[in-house]
Structures are given as structure tokens and as C-alpha cells.
Amino acid sequence: MPRDHVQHVERSAHGAGAPAGDPGFAPAVPPSRGAGPEPDPATETPFLELLARGASAEAYEQPVLLARAEGWSADRIAALERAKALALRVRAELEGRRRREAELSALFETAHDLAGLRDLDAVLRAIVQRARSLLGTDVAYLSLNDPARGDTYMRVTEGSVAARFQQLRLGMGEGLGGLVAQTARPYVTEDYFNDDRFRHTRTIDTGVRDEGLVAILGVPLMLGHHVIGVLYAADRRARVFEREQIALLGSFAALAAAAIDSANLLAETRSAVADLEHANEIIRDRSAVIERASDVHDRLAELVLRGGGVHDVAAAVSEVLDGTVEFAEAAVAPSRALEASRTDGHAVRHRDDWVAAVTAGGELLGALVLRGHPGLDPVDQRTLERAAMVTSLLLLARRSAAEAEQRVRGELLDDLLDARDRDPRLLRERARRLRADLDTTHTVLAARLDGPAADAGQAADARRRLWAAASHLAATGQGLAAARDGGTVLLLPLGPRDTATDVARRTARQLGTAVHETVTVGASAPVGDLATRPETVAAAYTEARRCLDALRLLGRSGDGAAAEDFGFLGLLLAGDRDVAGFVERTIGPVAAYDERRGTDLLRTLDAYFACGMSPARTKDELHVHVNTVAQRLDRVGRLLGDDWQSPARALEIQLALRLHRLSAPTRH
């Protein structure tokens, strides 16, 4: 095949016999009688034996050489030459048929592999292996186009030994393969490095040289009118590829292209099936979620119609979401998640829980908390949010019903503060209807907002929210609440272990959280027997207001305290000037010890302070040994605490000693 032009080779098909019109072909039939001398069986028998045993072409020269050596006549030798030529043509025909049979068998096996395609790489390797075997080349390989990079790369190699060659990438138009990929036509070269029809590059030439290739045949892999790759057969010596070999490699290329197309279609089908299965799963999941959402909607509607409460809502949502849903007050819910949910209007994840704020008109009423359910479906999340909305509606409805009760509570507290109703039986009855007990011990609290207000309207709205929060707190705590003097007054019962200070601080924290403002609370000393002594409520309220004013003057806004928290200043703040209580709280343990043991600890304390807290001068004042003074002061420390000599405690102790001495002068 010439090398000075690009040669396009078309595949041709041959029949079982020799081509028609071939002048060198003579049919293997005896001549008819009269057309010449009778054939000599001796001239045909050796060649038939050679054909029968499939001898090589060289073996057909032996009968002629033997005939010449035996001195056969020229006519007989000529007949023997004709028989040899005819036998060689028959042999060539048989070889061609066997070759075509092997080619067809290989193509059939490849088509069979393609029909049962499971692994594209395995089918491509089989195609390359069979092409190499049938064409008898040193190397066969297949490259595929990369549309993303605009080049072609090695996919399968057979017989290759050079790693650089196996990793080659050819740009479109580069080398023989690049030209095939660009033009969609087969190309062949007998000597690649001396063939200037191809654009040689250092990378390609280096790879081909590493592999030692000389003769290369490349045919395109076509899908429709598009080239997707190239199939090659190559030798490490100069070689001319026949047209039949080019056609055979083209057939393998067509099968390879079909395999790739089938694999792509199969992959697309599998992907589509997977997408459909995924879509079906999503549809099934969404159907189940929608059914759950519909179920919870029906349940919540039923709860609203029959007057259910927030805990009924939580129970219904718990069952639908297959989790534990609880209603939490704003004070106990996770503050950061609660604020985020309130701002966003959506449920917010908090660790393994979900928090949905329950709000109404900007007011935070609490939260619905889904426990231990981190992986929440978006539709289930919206279900929780709707449940929070229903909860807020129920709370608003309950608040509307409770506002009348709150007004009644406020009226009762107003009557106690103003001492309008002095009938104990009537006061107890009114309190009982409000689930309050006037015979138990209470504390009166004065609460006020300390945050700045932008205008009068906002200030009024803030006071209204404070009153609403205080009324709710009083109702849940079996107390009373009323708006008064620009703030709120509460009458709350004291628990068995509560002090007025505990209640004041807790109330300041709860009200501040409810209204999102700084709330300061002052508390009175404990008061009791309010039904028979209603006037004590007004005095206790005055004391609570004094504590409230003291907290604000001391810069303790947002805190809660009672008169007892201010030490001797509490005497000034307390409404009844509880001197005995102050003395008892300050030096009561020492007085009790003296009473039980007959000791002189109080007298020793009095002398100690009178002598400027000097033990040496104190022992002279008491006429005792200095060790005795030290022992008594050590006992005082165990009774009053280690800080009893600090300036603040020492001042209170001295005031208590003075009041104790003044109240019982005979004991001095």
C-alpha cells in the first residue's frame, strides 16, 4: 500500500469460490474426451495427499522435483506443474475459507458476548484480544474520545509492554489515531515514523517508540455519524495490512461501538430505574408523611372543638410523630433555641431535640419540645410547628377565659390593699373560688419594669404584658395579682422551704423571661392571717415597695430581695421595724448558747468591740486570762461564721448588741 497519500479502504465481501473472471483459475475437472491427452493419475495423486493432510505450500514443490529427478517427459512434468498450481489454488481457497470461518466465529462470539453484556470492560478486552489474534499483530488496543477534554485516551490494550504508551492521550488530529478520530475514516501506515501524513508530537512519538511499533492500522468506532473512539492493530515491524484485514478490524470496531452504546443505554436505563425507585420511595414516604399530617390535623381540630388543653395537643402530636412531645414553660425551655424559633417562626433543632416556640402577638408563651428525635422530616417539622400554633390558640382562648378570673383576683387584692371588705368569711369565700388560701403564710411583692420605653404607648403595652404575666404566675401559684402604682403587686404563698427572698428572686426571673424585659421585685416579710387582719397586706405592700426602691437605688435592677437581705438597713425598710427579728438573725445563736450554757459570750463580744477588737485590752476589761478571751471568741466564730469580724458583719453585730442591751437592760 503506498504511503504518499491518505488511503481509505472499503470493506469487500468474497464468496466461497475464487473471484469471477480470474484468468489464472482453472476448474478442477477432467477434460472431456477428445480435447487432449488423458490425465495421468500419477500427476494428481501426490497433491491430493498434500491437500488431505494440510501440508505447507513449500511441500507442493517436492513432487515436481522428484519427477524431474526421475526423468519424466516434458509433457508429464508440465501436467504435474498444472496439477500443482491447481492444488495450490485449492489450498489457498481452503485457507481463505478457514480464515473467514475463524473470523466469523470470532465475530459471532463477540456478538454473543455483546448480547449478554454485563461488564463493558470485559467485552472490550475480548474484542481487542480477538482482533489481535485474528490479524496476527503484536499489539491491539482501543481508545475512546473524551468530549470534556477534547482528546482521545487509551481504554484497553493487549500485548502492550510500555506503561507510557498505555497512558497516552491523543489530541484530535494528532498521530494516526487522532486523525482517525477526527476524520471518521480508517488509516494505515507501514512505517509510522517515516510517514509524514500524520501530525507527529513528541508525546505520541515517545509512547509509540517505547512500545516499538512500526506498522499501525486504525479504524473508527462509530455511533451513527459520531466517532467515539478508535480500534488499532499494530506490529513492531513493517507490514502491509490487506483489505480483508482492514474490513475485519472494522467489523470488530462496529461491535465495540455497539457494546459501548449498549453499555451506555444500560447505564442510562439503570440510572433511570434507580431514579424511579428513589422517586417511588420519596412518594411513598411523602404519602405516609401527608397521611400523618392529615391525621394530626384531624386530631388537633377535634381537640380544639372539644376544649382540649396544651398537654392533650402534646400527647396527640407525640403519637403521630412517634416521639415524646412536651409543653415547656418559657423559663425552662432551652433559651437559645427558643429565641431562635421565636425569631424564625420555625421549629429549631437543639441537640437531639426540636423546639417550637409558642407565641401570641410577640409574647412568648412557652414551647413544644420533641424529645430524642434528631432526624425530623420537613413535613413532620411543619406538623410540630402547626401544633405549636394550635397550642398558642388554645392558650389564648384559655387566657381570654382567665382574664375575667384575673380581674376578679385583682379586685380581691385591691380590696385587701384598701381594706374595703373586713368580713373574714366573705374574704375566705372569694379567695376559695380563686383557689387561694388566705389563712396560709404569704409574702407581698412589688414588681416593676426597669427597661427604657421608646414612647408612652410602648410603656403602657409593657406594663400590660407585665400585669398579664404576673396574673398568670399568681393563678398558677394560687396567689393574687393586681396592677398598681405603675407596676404590679402580687400576693404569693410561701412554700415550706421558701423564704421571702427566694420568692422575690424567682418572681423577678420568671416575669423578666415572660416579658423579655428587666423586672425588679421587692418582697415583704412573711405575713399571715390575712382574712382576719387584711390591713397587714397594705403595710406589707409598703415594705415591699421600699425594698424595690432600695434595689433600684443600689443598682440591682432585675434582682429580687426582701428586707432581711439588707441587714440593719432592713430595719429602715421594714414596715413594722422588726427589731427582735433583726437581733435574732444577727446574734441569736450566741444569745441562745449563753442561755443554755450560762456563759458570757455576749458580754465578751460587747467588751471586745468596746476595746477596739483587742483581745489584750478585752481580758483586762473582763478580768480574765487572754486565753479565755481567745477561747470565747473562737466559740463565737463557730456560732456566727468565720466572717463575723468582717467590717459589714461587725457593724451589724455591734448594732444588734446595742439593740439587745437596750431591749433588756437588766441583763447587761
> pLDDT by residue (tens digit) across 135-176?
889 999 999 988 888 888 999 999 999 999 999 888 888 888
Is the confidence at residue 449, as pLDDT, over 60? yes
What rounded mean pLDDT belongs to the chain? 78
pLDDT given for residue 662 in this prediction: 61
pLDDT given for residue 360 in this prediction: 78
196 φ/ψ angles, rounded to the nearest 5 degrees: -95, 15
**Higher local confidence (pLDDT), 401 or 336:** 336
- Read off the DSSP letter of residue 599: -
Task: Please give the order of strands across the beta sheet that includes 480-484.
Answer: 480-484, 487-493, 442-449, 519-523, 560-562
Q: pLDDT digit string (tens) for 491-516?
A: 899 888 888 888 989 998 998 888 88
CB 154 within 8 A of CB 143: yes
Confidence category of residue 567, pLDDT binned at 50, 70, 90:
low
pLDDT given for residue 6 in this prediction: 34
Confidence category of residue 208, pLDDT binned at 50, 70, 90:
very high
pLDDT (mean) for 331-342: 84
Task: Please give the order of strands across the beta sheet that includes 226-235.
Answer: 169-171, 151-158, 139-146, 226-235, 215-223, 187-189
pLDDT given for residue 30 in this prediction: 42
Determine what percent of the chain is predicted with pLDDT higher than 70: 80
Instruction: Provide the grid cell at 105.
Output: 466465529
Angular region, 220: left φ>0, alpha ψ -120 to 50, beta rest: beta
Confidence category of residue 186, pLDDT binned at 50, 70, 90:
very high
CB 562 within 8 A of CB 547: yes
pLDDT (mean) for 608-633: 88
Residue that the C-alpha cell 467485552 belongs to: 123
The continuous run of DSSP H or E covering 287 comes out as helix 243-305
pLDDT given for residue 160 in this prediction: 92
What gap in Å lies between CA 350 and CA 345, rounded to an integer? 15
Handedness of CA 643, 645, 648, 650 (dihedral sign): positive
pLDDT given for residue 63 in this prediction: 87
Confidence category of residue 2, pLDDT binned at 50, 70, 90:
very low
pTM (two decimals): 0.36
Residue that the C-alpha cell 470488530 belongs to: 252
Q: List, in order, residues 6 or more apart from 443 with CB less than 8 Å away.
A: 491, 492, 494, 500, 503, 504, 523, 524, 525, 526, 527, 540, 544, 562
pLDDT (mean) for 101-127: 68
CB 102 within 8 A of CB 134: yes
Is the confidence at residue 213, as pLDDT, over 90? yes
Q: List, in order, residues 6 or more apart from 608 with CB less than 8 Å away.
A: 614, 615, 618, 629, 633
pLDDT given for residue 189 in this prediction: 92
Is the confidence at residue 654, as pLDDT, over 90? no
